[in-house]
Every structure is written in C-alpha cells, then in structure tokens.
C-alpha cells in the first residue's frame, strides 16, 4: 500500500491528536511523544507514526510529515499544523483538531442514526418478501393449480416471481449481482451524476447545504485561529464543501476579499448559499476582530440546524416507510387471500 493511500479511523486519529496535545503541553519533546505513541500503535497507525518519526529525525516538520498522508490529514489540517509550528502553538492547535474531530464524529453519528431506521425497515421488507415468495407462494400455487382457479393479476405476478426465484435461483442471483455491480460502477465512474441527482431532492439538498456550512465554518475557525490569512483560509475551506453553488460563492468571496472588501460583503445577496443569520454573525465578528470565534459560533449554530433537519427528515421517513411497507406487504397478502376467499365462496355457492 502506498503511503499516500494509508488511512486510519477517526477514533485512531482522535487518540493520536489527544495524546500528542497532552504530552506536548506537558513539555515533552515531540520525538519522544512520537516514540510513546509508536509503542501502542499497530496497523496503518503504526505505518503513519513510523513515517512521521523518520521525517522528524531527518529534520522535517510535523506538517511536512502529515502532508504525505492526504487521505488521513487533509489540506486544512496540514496548513493549520504548519501555521502552529511557525507560531509555537502546536499543542493548542492539536487540541483544537481533536475537539473539531470529536464534533465531526458526533455529527456523523447523528446522520448515521437518522438513516439507520429506514434502512432496517427496508431490509426487513425484503426479507419478508423473499420469505413469502420462497415458502408461502409455492404451496399456494400448487393448490390453485390443482383446483384450476382463475387467479387475479397480482397473484399471477407473485407466482411468476416465486417460480423465477425458486427454479432459476442461480441466474436470479447473478442478475442481482449484475445490477449491484452496475450500480457500483456507475457510482464509481459517474459519481457526480448520481450525487447531483440525489442532492437535488428538496430536503436532501437543504441538509447537504447545512452540512457544507458546518464543515466550512469549522475549517475556517481552525485556519483563522491558527493565524492563516483569510484568503488562504477560503481557498482551503472551499475544497471541503460538496455543493457547487456554495463552492462558487466561496471562490467569488476570495476575489472580493482580495480586492479589499469584507467577507460579509462577499456573502451578502447569496442567501441561497449563506443564510442571512450566518452573514450577520460574520459581520459581527469582523467588527469586533473575532472572525475566528464567529466561525466557531456559526459551526455550532449550523450543527443545531442540521440536527433539526435530520429530525424532520426522520419524522417524515418513518411513517412513509411504514406506509410503503404496509401497503406492499398488505398487497401481497391480499393477492394470496383473495383467491382463497373466492375459492371458498365458489365452494359455498355449489352446496
């Protein structure tokens, strides 16, 4: 595995930042800190720490050592660490990185928990459908065939699907695998098309925008509090946003700031990308000279907004999923029960 492709989990990264921050704050030389971390490291973490140790022995900076692993340490992190090394505030920045990573992890946990319930419901429905097609339908189909009952269309469709699943199991599985492979390849090579379609959905689009603002503001806080210029911070923060319209506004803001105007002026009139309240908080930060703190406040505010949107999304998805599954399962059961009821009625009328 090439060094630049090595990646570690967020928990491992959190432990790494926390240990480094604590030990450097205690006055322990950075090389001793790395040696201490190396003792308990394993897997990809050990590979990264070994590489960092080797670079430090050769006289390279920590930021230079980090830059070899872009999948683990993004450009924001590398530049923040570089600025901290120059300012002599490495322990403070490492603590900030740890705090921001912890917030990001909590944020992603909220996102994952929001989509867990609908996903479980969907797979439970698939399991029920397969059970009905494999176990129930063959027995029912045998009875209907022997009695030569005139079946409604939904029942005939279920029997047809059941026959395909039972009599052509291998081709059916191969077909499913082909579909999944096609989706995977489409997502891998035409990812932008799928993402654009997904992100154009009303509620999803709003959620992604809010997530972008959280990531942007947190990155800007880290960069500005480390002493990085606002134009450089905008360049780095622009790379982490997902939505193109927000990315364009950030790039335009960079040009406007370079011309001598304020960041709040650059964002004014861009309500679709940056809400009025965000612009107001930035404006207040510029007036008081605490733009970095304003960015931190925006991150906390937008984090609340994302959680609120997620709750709304889940509250809509839960009943919709239950109705969807209920209608489909109910339809399948009615397709089975209706012919039986018709058969009983026919027998009863013949007596």
CATH code matching the domain that covers 3-73, chosen among 2.70.98.60, 3.30.565.10, 1.20.81.30, 1.10.340.30: 1.20.81.30
According to the model, what pLDDT value does residue 150 have? Answer: 72
Give the number of other CB atoms < 10 A from CB of residue 80: 29
Residue range(s) of every CATH 1.20.81.30 domain in the chain: 3-73, 203-310
According to the model, what pLDDT value does residue 280 have? Answer: 92
What CATH topology corresponds to 203-310?
A: Receptor-associated Protein (1.20.81)
Helix (H, G, I), strand (E, B) or coil at 70: coil
Give the number of other CB atoms < 10 A from CB of residue 260: 6
Q: How far apart are the first and last CA of the chain?
A: 78
Contact 107, 306 (CB under 8 A): yes
According to the model, what pLDDT value does residue 195 have? Answer: 65
Give the number of other CB atoms < 10 A from CB of residue 337: 13
Cα separation, 170 vs 176, whole angstroms:
10
Each of the 351 residues of the chain gets a pLDDT tens digit; together they read: 444 678 888 889 889 889 988 988 888 888 899 989 888 888 888 899 999 999 999 989 888 999 888 888 888 888 888 888 887 888 888 888 888 888 778 777 777 776 777 778 778 888 888 888 888 788 877 777 776 667 777 778 888 888 888 887 788 778 878 888 887 777 676 666 666 676 677 767 778 888 888 888 888 888 888 888 888 888 888 888 878 888 888 888 888 888 888 888 888 878 788 888 888 999 999 999 899 899 989 988 888 888 787 777 777 777 777 787 788 778 777 777 777 776 666 655 555
């Amino acid at each position: 595995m090439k060094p630049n492709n090595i990646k570690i989990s967020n928990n491992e990264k959190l432990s790494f930042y926390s240990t480094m921050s604590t030990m450097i704050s205690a006055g322990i030389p950075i090389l001793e800190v790395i040696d201490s971390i190396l003792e308990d490291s394993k897997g990809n973490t050990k590979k990264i720490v070994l590489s960092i140790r080797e670079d430090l022995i050769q006289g390279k900076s920590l930021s230079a050592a980090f830059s070899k692993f872009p999948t683990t340490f993004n450009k924001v992190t590398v530049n923040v660490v570089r600025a901290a090394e120059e300012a002599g505030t490495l322990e403070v920045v490492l603590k900030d990185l740890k705090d921001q990573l912890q917030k990001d992890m909590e944020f992603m946990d909220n996102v994952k928990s929001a989509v867990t319930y609908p996903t479980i419901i969907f797979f439970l429905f698939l399991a029920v459908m397969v059970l009905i097609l494999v176990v129930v339908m063959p027995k029912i189909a045998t009875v209907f065939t022997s009695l030569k009952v005139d079946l409604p269309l939904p029942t005939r469709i279920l029997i047809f699907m059941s026959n395909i699943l039972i009599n052509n199991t291998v081709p059916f599985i191969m077909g499913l695998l082909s579909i999944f492979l096609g989706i995977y390849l489409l997502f891998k090579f035409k990812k932008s098309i799928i993402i654009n379609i997904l992100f154009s959905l009303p509620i999803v689009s709003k959620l992604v925008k809010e997530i972008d603002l959280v990531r942007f503001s947190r990155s800007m806080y880290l960069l500005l509090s480390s002493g990085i210029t606002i134009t450089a911070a905008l360049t780095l923060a622009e790379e982490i946003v997902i939505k193109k319209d927000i990315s364009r506004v950030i790039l335009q803001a960079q040009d406007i700031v370079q011309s001598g105007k304020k960041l709040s002026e650059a964002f004014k009139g861009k309500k679709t990308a940056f809400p009025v309240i965000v612009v107001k908080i930035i404006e207040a930060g510029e007036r008081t000279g605490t733009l970095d703190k304003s960015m931190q406040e925006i991150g906390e505010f937008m984090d609340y907004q994302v959680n609120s949107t997620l709750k709304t999304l889940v509250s809509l998805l839960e009943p919709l999923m239950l109705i969807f599954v209920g209608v489909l399962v109910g339809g399948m059961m009615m397709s089975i029960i209706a012919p039986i009821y018709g058969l009983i009625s026919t027998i009863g009328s013949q007596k």
